[in-house]
Chains A and B, each alone.
Chain A
Amino acid sequence: MSTKSSFNSLYNRYSHWRESAAVRRGKMFRPDYKFIRKSDESELVVEDLNVYIKNNHILKNINLTIPDKKITCVIGPSGCGKSTLLKTFNRLIDSVEGVKLDGKVLIDGEDIIHSGTEITELRRKMGLISQRPCPLPMSIFENVAYGCRIHGIRMRRKLNMIVQHYLKAAGLWDEVKDRLRTPATRLSIGQQQRLCLARSLAVEPQFILADEATSALDPISSKIIEDLFVKLKENYSIIMVTHTLHQALRIADYVVFMYLGEVIEAGDAQSVFNNPQHELTKKYLSGAFS
């Protein structure tokens, strides 16, 4: 016992030294891990955003201000550019071929569209949850730890704490605590989506971008995710794209209605749902098209 534990403590001390030395030299990025995020203001402002993909004008003159620590629901019919908008926020759209971005997206006053943006850091800030849960081909533990590892956290004990904390935050800890080493693909699809949420939270984002995060799930699992979002909005600004109006009605604080690449109406959920200003919004809310 004593040999092993002394080896472990030695190793921990060594890796701590290595990590802090690397940080001191400025070679390694280390996010400031605090278990309760300080509620600093995070603001996202979109100014005159235009997105073209191979000469198709996908997003047209988007002007938006996303409120802080609220759930913003982006609604609209299929193909109106909701997902493209989300992918622009974390620049995942760069991997689409023939894409051209124009305009400004300001996160905390910093424009993320221009080419000098540090994309990995931006993507860390903007946790994305996709439509279908996509666990990495690793164990449950490694799935959550992966993001921390690539951002320079190597200490075993620290990783254990982070994984436990964020699995708890995603409401998954009690279900998986005895099988952290089993492949993530063995979880049910609802659990997988919560694992993806925990994985995104583990790299300490400011925003959570949810791209129809519940549309592949059964009603019970999507209820769990919705409740989680309501809980998480204390600490994160959540932007979610949704197809189901009912979901938006249930949890949205702020609503953005898009149609054919344009923002038709944006405002408080109460006012948009009860008193829509625009003709198209009225039609959409009454179910004339979807």
Chain B
Amino acid sequence: MKFFVEKLMRVLMVLSLLLVFGFVISIIFTIFSKGWSAMSWDMITKLPGGGFYIGKEGGFLNAIVGSLYIVGASTLLGLFISIPVVFYLNIYLKKNSKLAYVTRLAYDVLFGIPSIVYGAFAFTIMIYLGIKASLLGGIIVITLLIIPIFVRSMDEVAKEFPREILDATYSLGATRLETIRVVVRQIAPGIATATLLSIGRAIGDAAAVMFTAGYTDSIPTSLSQPAATLPLAVFFQLSSPIAEVQDRAYAAALVLTVIVLILSLLGRYFTNRFSKNKLK
């Protein structure tokens, strides 16, 4: 009987694993089968031409570049804001501090807020300040969106930070601020994972950038110009009645998936490199 239960459970586990795997395969298959026909060098190296949205010449380089701009800048900004937050939460505040509790709760709430709400919130403020949809707006709203992801996932790793390492650093005469070099090195794998998660969320988000970054057919040359993004390129082209344009939406989705794949692989590689110094 025990043996039977063991077997059964094992089969169930493998089944659920296959379910997830099947999901990924079928998504990739759909994107490929529909998008591959529309895929060409022109798509990823050219800006949309005059008749792009009725199925004529051009590509969606504007969306690729816009997405990379927004994701790159907001990931950097997010890192610079969230590392101090995590450091303060875990090194400066005591274990049972009320401020730490409230902060973590706040980030949990922010984590759960849908991105359209971020978009709407930022849009309201932008109207109030009289700013038009722009690259800067997109970067700021995406930064706001990913900071909770950064903080919460780094915090989980930083909570496990060994007390002995801190004591060892203090007993060399380090101030609390000077321990940051040690802390960052120890939680480096966590930072890499958090960055990966954040990039995934940032690059795939359509709702937050719709009002804030806008959409344009050219590559932005300054922060105050609107910027196109890949998820919006998918969204707009998919809602077109023309079949060719719909296929291009899948091609854009394909590019998006490949970018995420490349970033994930890079992230894995760097996670392994960073964790070699980590104290187990």
A130 with B172: CB separation less than 8 A? no
A267 contacts partner chain B, Cβ-Cβ < 8 Å: no
Give every chain B residue within 8 A of A184 (Cβ-Cβ): 277
A105 contacts partner chain B, Cβ-Cβ < 8 Å: no
B29 contacts partner chain A, Cβ-Cβ < 8 Å: no
Residue in A95, A137, A150 whose CB lies within 8 Å of B172:
A150
Q: Which of A120-155 contact B (CB under 8 A)?
A: 120-124, 126-128, 130, 132, 134-139, 146-147, 150-151
Give every chain B residue within 8 A of A138 (Cβ-Cβ): 182, 185, 277
Give every chain A residue within 8 A of B182 (Cβ-Cβ): 136-138, 146
In Å, the complex CA distance between A135 and B182 comes to 11
A120 with B171: CB separation less than 8 A? no
Give every chain A residue within 8 A of B171 (Cβ-Cβ): 90, 92, 123, 126-128, 130, 200
A183 contacts partner chain B, Cβ-Cβ < 8 Å: yes
B113 contacts partner chain A, Cβ-Cβ < 8 Å: no
A266 contacts partner chain B, Cβ-Cβ < 8 Å: no
Among residues of A, the one whose C-beta sits closest to the C-beta of B174 is A150
Residue in A95, A122, A185 whose CB lies within 8 Å of B277:
A185
Contact with A along B154-177 (1 / 0, CB 8 A): 000000001011111111111100
In Å, the complex CA distance between A230 and B255 comes to 67
Give every chain A residue within 8 A of B277 (Cβ-Cβ): 137-139, 183-185
Give every chain B residue within 8 A of A185 (Cβ-Cβ): 277-280
Q: Which of A184-206 contact B (CB under 8 A)?
A: 184-185, 196, 199-200, 203
Chain B interface size band reads: 20 to 34
- Interface class of chain B by DSSP: helix
A150 with B164: CB separation less than 8 A? no
A97 contacts partner chain B, Cβ-Cβ < 8 Å: yes
Contact with B along A226-270 (1 / 0, CB 8 A): 000000000000000000000000000000000000000000000
In Å, the complex CA distance between A138 and B276 comes to 9
Give every chain A residue within 8 A of B168 (Cβ-Cβ): 128, 130, 134, 136, 196
Smallest beta-carbon distance A172→chain B, Å: 17
B185 with A95: CB separation less than 8 A? no
Among residues of B, the one whose C-beta sits closest to the C-beta of A122 is B173
Residue in A95, A126, A130, A135 whose CB lies within 8 Å of B279:
A135
Give every chain A residue within 8 A of B164 (Cβ-Cβ): 130, 132, 134
Give every chain B residue within 8 A of A132 (Cβ-Cβ): 164
Give every chain B residue within 8 A of A137 (Cβ-Cβ): 165, 182, 185-186, 277-279
Among residues of A, the one whose C-beta sits closest to the C-beta of B279 is A137
Given contacts A90-B171, A95-B170, A130-B164, 18 further A-B pairs with CB under 8 A are: A92-B170, A92-B171, A95-B166, A120-B173, A121-B173, A122-B173, A123-B172, A124-B173, A128-B167, A130-B167, A132-B164, A136-B168, A136-B185, A146-B169, A146-B172, A147-B174, A151-B173, A200-B172
Query: What are 28 pairs between A and B in contact, CB < 8 Å?
Result: A92-B171, A95-B167, A95-B170, A120-B173, A123-B171, A123-B173, A124-B172, A127-B171, A130-B164, A130-B167, A132-B164, A134-B162, A134-B164, A134-B279, A136-B168, A136-B182, A136-B185, A137-B165, A137-B278, A138-B185, A147-B172, A150-B172, A183-B277, A185-B277, A185-B278, A185-B280, A200-B171, A203-B173
